[in-house]
Structure formats: structure tokens, C-alpha cells
């Protein structure tokens, strides 16, 4: 099975219904879009249904304002046996000022599942460009850190 496209972009106009009490776009609204983008990118790559396992390093660098265009740039950076790391960069454009800002970044771990909800294998990611190789290597490093954290958590849980 040949993997689908490993990258995806989506642009959304931020509207008043997305604002929090200070008039900025609500963080929860942004997280919802991030999860949808991660799902779309991972499921297209794997060619099957995927679920979110974890969200790492959500960084809100700058606020997003109502009326701005927000572009989500997603990429399958790394694949394990049944999981994929999807990196997402958020770029915000103020249409009136003609300015562009990098406002958010994060990493989602998505797991491919079958109709019964059991994890299934995903096509291996083969980085081709130097940028893809850099993302792949960083994805491997983040995976190792997640695995170590899970191991420590299990040890603490067993200790009571």
C-alpha cells in the first residue's frame, strides 16, 4: 500500500463566535482545529481511521485575533508501527495590516485503528528531503522521550 500525501494545509477565518472574554480567539477553539487537522493529515497518509493518542508541546506563542486568517501546516513527521507523529505549525495573517505571524506549534501522536478499534500498521514514513529527515529525527527523539515518560509513570503507579 502506497502512503498518501504526508502534508496538509487548511486555512480558516477567525470569526467573533470563536472569541474568549478578552476578544482573542479562544485556546479551546484552536485546539479543536489542531485536532481536526492532525486527524485529516494522519488519516489521509495512512488511508484509514485514526485516533488521537497524545498532544505534546502545544505552544501558544502569540494571541490570534478575530478577523485573522489562520493557516494550519501539518506534516506526518515520523511513523512507528501503528502510530504517527503529526507536527502542526500555525501561521496567522492579518489581512488589513498584510502581516504574517507564526503563532502556534504542536505535535500530535495519532494511532491508526480498524473497524473494531484495534490498532493497525501504518505505512512507514521515508523522509526524502533534508527538512523531512530533520523532522523524522526529531520525531524519533520525541517518541523516545514519550516512551520513557510512560515507563516512569507505570513504575510510579506500581509503587502505589
pLDDT for the residue numbered 159: 85
**118 vs 139, more confident:** 118
Domain locations along the chain: 7-159
pLDDT for the residue numbered 1: 38
Second-level CATH architecture of 7-159: Roll (3.10)
Dihedral sign computed on CA atoms, order 140, 145, 150, 154: positive
What pLDDT band is residue 109 in, cutting at 50, 70 and 90? very high
**pLDDT beyond 80 at 45:** yes
Residue range 43-54: average pLDDT?
A: 96
**141 vs 85, more confident:** 85
pLDDT for the residue numbered 10: 97
- For the chain, report the end-to-end CA distance as a whole number of angstroms: 45
Average pLDDT over the chain, rounded to an integer: 91
Residue range 28-54: average pLDDT?
A: 97
pLDDT for the residue numbered 46: 96
**pLDDT beyond 80 at 3:** no
Residue range 117-138: average pLDDT?
A: 89
Residue range 32-38: average pLDDT?
A: 98
What pLDDT band is residue 148 in, cutting at 50, 70 and 90? confident
Q: Which long-range contacts (CB under 8 A, 24 or more apart) does 7-10 make?
A: 7/41, 7/73, 7/74, 7/75, 7/76, 8/37, 8/40, 8/41, 8/44, 8/72, 8/74, 8/75, 9/71, 9/72, 9/73, 9/74, 10/36, 10/37, 10/40, 10/71, 10/72, 10/74
pLDDT tens for residues 65-106? 999 999 999 999 999 999 999 999 999 999 999 999 999 999
pLDDT for the residue numbered 137: 86
Amino acid at each position: 500500500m502506497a502512503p498518501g500525501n504526508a502534508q496538509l494545509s487548511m486555512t480558516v477565518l477567525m470569526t467573533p463566535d470563536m472569541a474568549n472574554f478578552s476578544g482573542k480567539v479562544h485556546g479551546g477553539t484552536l485546539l479543536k482545529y489542531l485536532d481536526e487537522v492532525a486527524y485529516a493529515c494522519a488519516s489521509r497518509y495512512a488511508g484509514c481511521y485514526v485516533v488521537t493518542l497524545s498532544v505534546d508541546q502545544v505552544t501558544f506563542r502569540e494571541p490570534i485575533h478575530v478577523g485573522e486568517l489562520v493557516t494550519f501546516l501539518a506534516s506526518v513527521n515520523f511513523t512507528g508501527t501503528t502510530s504517527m507523529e503529526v507536527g502542526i505549525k500555525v501561521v496567522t495573517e492579518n489581512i488589513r495590516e498584510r502581516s504574517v505571524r507564526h503563532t502556534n506549534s504542536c505535535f500530535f501522536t495519532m494511532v491508526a485503528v480498524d473497524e473494531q478499534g484495534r490498532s493497525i500498521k501504518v505505512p512507514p514514513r521515508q523522509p526524502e528531503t533534508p527538512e523531512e529527515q530533520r523532522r523524522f529525527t526529531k520525531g524519533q527523539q520525541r517518541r523516545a522521550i514519550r516512551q520513557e515518560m510512560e515507563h516512569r509513570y507505570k513504575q510510579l503507579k506500581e509503587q502505589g
